[in-house]
Structure 1
Amino acid sequence: MGQLLSRPGKSSCVARCLLALCAAAATAAQAADWELDVDARLLSSEGGKSFLEAGLGTVRFGQDQSGLRLGRARVAISEPFGEVWTLHIDASAWGDQDKSPVGVTEAYLQYRPYPFSGYRLRVKAGAFYAPISLENRASGWESPYTLSSSAINTWLGEELRTIGLEAQLDWLGTRTGHTFDLGLTGAVYGWNEPAGVVLATDGFTLHDRQTPLFGRVGRAGYEPLEPFRQIDGRAGYYGGIEARYLDRVVLRALHYDNRADPSAYDAVSGAMAWRTSFDSAGVRIESGDGWTVVAQWLNGYTYIAPGGFELEWPFNARFALLSKRVGRHMLSARYDQFQVLSGKGNPEQDGSQQGHAWTAAYLFQLNPQWRFTLEWLRVVSNSYSRGDILGTTGLATETQLQLAVRCALGSSVQ
């Protein structure tokens, strides 16, 4: 597990990441729409051992990782085919020693025909994020408000990806004299049956690292996990609804169920299928003078049934974010609450976790190419696994301070 982020090869790993992305960028430059950005971090952390190093820290960087780090190096390509088809590929390097220095986080083909009779259709096939987050709306599925995502969206980036087919139908009310639009979304997918195991072993965390499609996530006391795999051959689904009022207010709700067989497992890798289902809802409100409010809620459960013996972990999380933009400056603050419960079949409080977090961030956009962000994050959590797996106290207060310098280039960065 520890080799995910090993110190001896850190410099060479970062160099390989940047070389690979530069090669990808040379290809991307031939595309109609491309973007290349590099995010470097100077950080001070009082966090526990990182989740990527077999620890149960709730922040991305542990105390032994303070100093200069690569936050993210990313290249994205969007290539249109005709007027209604687009191919999109998004790849990133995170500066850790995962299976490969660069990993693809999204790759999909999108069909978006012209609107008809007041409606608009969009179909996506490939690997992409479900339309759950109201926070991670920037390119590369990043948050434009903070460096670290909320607990909800951190988990989505760790364990969930739609690998399948999604269709969205929008009623364009604002084009027919109304003040709002409505949209319905549905999808079928596979290769996401281990989703839920990280919540049951590690609990919620707050960071910005997204698991690549062929990458791994660390688990305290266990081998690294590849979360995107098919085990029982069953397809999952989700369905959602969205309402927009004058592009100022967005309401979104979605039900997700991977329909995994909780008794199934892969005999070669030993990976189990986790039945994971949840509901999410949220709102984003934007004023005309730079204020933004985002609130989101998620509630669900994950369980396995090896040999017919069921083990369940209900979970829930919520956050509220307030942001104010003044010219090239932005100030943001967020409060998170999260909880993983020990459900039926589990002895005592096995796998349980509860906690809350405060995040404050200041962003300065010097120009379209250069951005500077200072973020302070404090997480207070009580985890049963810290005592059970690591033999330490369950209660922990972790603080992380990051200064990020981001340089972006691309066809749309002007």
Structure 2
Amino acid sequence: MIKILGFTLGLLSTGSVLAVETEWHGLLDLRFGSADTLDSYIDGGMGKFGQSDGQQVSLSQLGAELALSWDSGISGHLVANAYLDEEESGIGLTEAYLKYRSLPGASGYRWQSKAGIFYPSISLENNAFAWASKNTLNSSTLNTWLGEEIRVLGAEFMLTRLGKIHNSKHDFSLSGAIFGNNDPAGAMLAWHGWTMSSRQTLWTERRPLPDFEASRPGNMLSNQAKASDPFLELDDRLGVHVKARWKYRGKGELSSGYYANNGQPYIVIKGQYAWKTRFYHLGGKWRLAKGLELSGQYLNGDTLMQSPDKVDVVNNDYASGYLALTKKWRQHQLTLRGEEFSVTDNDNTPGDNNTEYGKAMTVNYRYHYAKNWFFSGEFNWIDSERPARRYIDQPVELTERQLQFSARYFF
């Protein structure tokens, strides 16, 4: 698919040399972090942060976006990210798609579409270049999971009623997507639980699973691959994502949606299982006063994985939500975020207890030093109860803390 997109972009550019507009954007994020935690989930542990216990200096993100735009309303987009740290370094594509955006019609409607590899339109936090979070260094647990396991190869269509043309401040939009290549989604959430970081899974990347009793030789999940590949197509069935959004210009927006990968949960190929994963999501942000914004998201769903003879192996309900308050004044910004998350294990598989409950808090201060430079300090706190930590001789109840300092350059 990436080769096809690259060929298409080259062909369009060759045929429309005078009409094409090229834009590069991205960010460089250098960090120092100190964490009181376990081995990071990034490295196959059960620590909930992107770094393991101790201190480290890292290239937390080097992200770049290339956009080629034509007068016809067609544009091509490539997004790449790189990471360099003590857990797992990597470089690769995270999104690659073609997009079409029409001009507003006389009736006040506009439609747009895109096709390729992309994030479903869910996150309200990750709205900076290369899907970075603008107001905090670590994304919420909700959006950290989206960055890890939810990405699709598909097509999306959206219709928007523009209020401006109707002398109104209200915009309404409906979107729908069909997709594949997200069948294993749910595995990482089941086996390491909710996490909090800024890490995105690269399109061709595999993520190591933590050690747990059921995955050991001779047990029920011993045939599960030791690393999950979330962006595979295993059952040749299309998933769907639908979303509705209301936007009140100058004040805020509200949205709701439904995602279902339509996985056949008893399909397994080379140790990678298809999971039937689905969820509802709600989101909103509102300008309370000058420089003061309240935002929040909530996600609730379930996931199912079965043996080839259709016996439930993993059957989980899950939920996560956050509220954030952001205050801006002059060159300063302060963000406070509170979260609650859970996983409910509904199956009886021995040695595989996925139940989890936790709360989290984030405090971030950001200083706008120069046109493209931002300095940030952030404190993260997570308190959780997860029985699966017993499998690696760690406490069921655990409080984890992280302090980070960052220099970010946007270009």
With the shorter chain as reference, the TM-score category is: 0.7 to 0.9
Q: Deviations over 1:209-264 (max 9, x none)?
A: 01111112231026222110010111100111000112422101001110000011
- Tell me the TM-score normalised to structure 2 length: 0.88
> Matched residues in 2 for 1:246 and 1:369: separation?
27
Q: AA paired with 1:405?
A: A
Q: Tell whether 2:387 aligns with 1:384.
A: yes
> Matched residues in 2 for 1:130 and 1:305: separation?
26
- 1:81 CA displacement: 2.7
Contact 1:349 1:384 in 2 (8 A): no
Identity between Structure 1 and Structure 2 (%): 31
Match for residue 239 of structure 1 among 230, 239, 242: 242
Q: Tell whether 2:102 aligns with 1:113.
A: yes
Match for residue 24 of structure 2 among 34, 38, 41: 34
Question: Which residue does the alignment assign to 1:327?
Answer: 330
Question: Which residue does the alignment assign to 1:70?
Answer: 59
Question: Which residue does the alignment assign to 2:69?
Answer: 80
Secondary structure at 1:157 match in 2: helix
Answer 1 or 2: which has greater strand percent.
2
Q: Tell whether 2:167 aligns with 1:177.
A: yes
- 1:345 CA displacement: 3.9
- 1:162 CA displacement: 2.3
Q: Tell whether 2:373 aligns with 1:397.
A: no
Question: Which residue does the alignment assign to 1:308?
Answer: 310
Question: Which residue does the alignment assign to 1:260?
Answer: 263
Give the 4+ runs in structure 1 shifted more than 3 A: 96-101, 344-349
Q: Aligned residues, how many? A: 376
Question: Which residue does the alignment assign to 1:365?
Answer: 368
> Matched residues in 1 for 2:182 and 2:210: separation?
21
- 1:365 CA displacement: 1.2
Report the CA distance shift for 1:256/1:363 in structure 2 as closer, same or farther (over 3 A). same
Question: Which residue does the alignment assign to 1:25?
Answer: none
Question: Which residue does the alignment assign to 1:298?
Answer: 299
Q: Tell whether 2:161 aligns with 1:158.
A: no
Question: Which residue does the alignment assign to 2:3?
Answer: none
Q: AA paired with 1:115?
A: P
- 1:383 CA displacement: 1.1
Question: Which residue does the alignment assign to 1:93?
Answer: 82
- 1:319 CA displacement: 0.5
Q: Tell whether 2:346 aligns with 1:338.
A: no
- 1:36 CA displacement: 3.8
- 1:136 CA displacement: 1.6
Match for residue 219 of structure 1 among 193, 199, 209: 209
Q: Which moved more, 1:66-75 or 1:103-112?
A: 66-75
- 1:350 CA displacement: 1.0
Secondary structure at 2:317 match in 1: strand
Q: Which moved more, 1:124-133 or 1:330-339?
A: 124-133
Q: Tell whether 2:124 aligns with 1:134.
A: yes
Contact 2:266 2:274 in 1 (8 A): yes
Structure 1: runs of 5 or more not aligned: 1-29, 410-414
Report the CA distance shift for 1:391/1:100 in structure 2 as closer, same or farther (over 3 A). closer
Secondary structure at 2:142 match in 1: helix
- Tell me the TM-score normalised to structure 1 length: 0.87
Question: Which residue does the alignment assign to 1:283?
Answer: 284
Computed over aligned residues only, the root mean square deviation of the Cα atoms, in angstroms, reads 1.8
Q: Deviations over 1:337-377 (max 9, x none)?
A: 00011113445971111101000000111122211010000
Question: Which residue does the alignment assign to 1:48?
Answer: 38
> Matched residues in 1 for 2:87 and 2:237: separation?
28
> Matched residues in 1 for 2:282 and 2:260: separation?
15
Question: Which residue does the alignment assign to 1:407?
Answer: 409
